[in-house]
Amino acid sequence: MNQVLVCLKNKDKINFGVLDKRQKELVALGNVIRSGKTDLISRYVKEALDSGATKEDILRVASFILGDKKLLNTIYH
């Protein structure tokens, strides 16, 4: 996750080549959550899980974006 944050801090250039597939999918999930496109969230969660992400990884990204892990635990079982 720290690697993702470092990449996102550099606004002029993002080098996603340093991220593995799991990390790229978690970044994509974070972008979908941030955009508010709730109809796409389940698709991106599945893609993240298929790439090796864990439930904890997904909750960490979502709580980072939304800031409410307690709420997320009631939504994602």
pLDDT one-digit tens code per residue, 10-66: 555 555 557 889 999 999 999 898 888 889 999 999 999 999 999 999 988 988 888
The phi and psi torsions of 20 (rounded to 5 degrees) equal: -85, 175
Domain annotation covers residue 2: no
Domain annotation covers residue 31: yes
Give the three-state DSSP class for 29. helix
Domain annotation covers residue 59: yes
pLDDT value of position 22: 93
Position 75 pLDDT exceeds 90: no
E-strand ranges in the chain read none
Domain annotation covers residue 9: no
Domain annotation covers residue 38: yes
Angle, helices 38-50/55-66, rounded to nearest 10 degrees: 140
Tell me how many domains the chain contains. 1
State which residues form the domain around 30: 21-75
Task: Report how far residue 6's alpha carbon sits from residue 55's, in angstroms, rounded to the nearest whole number.
Answer: 22
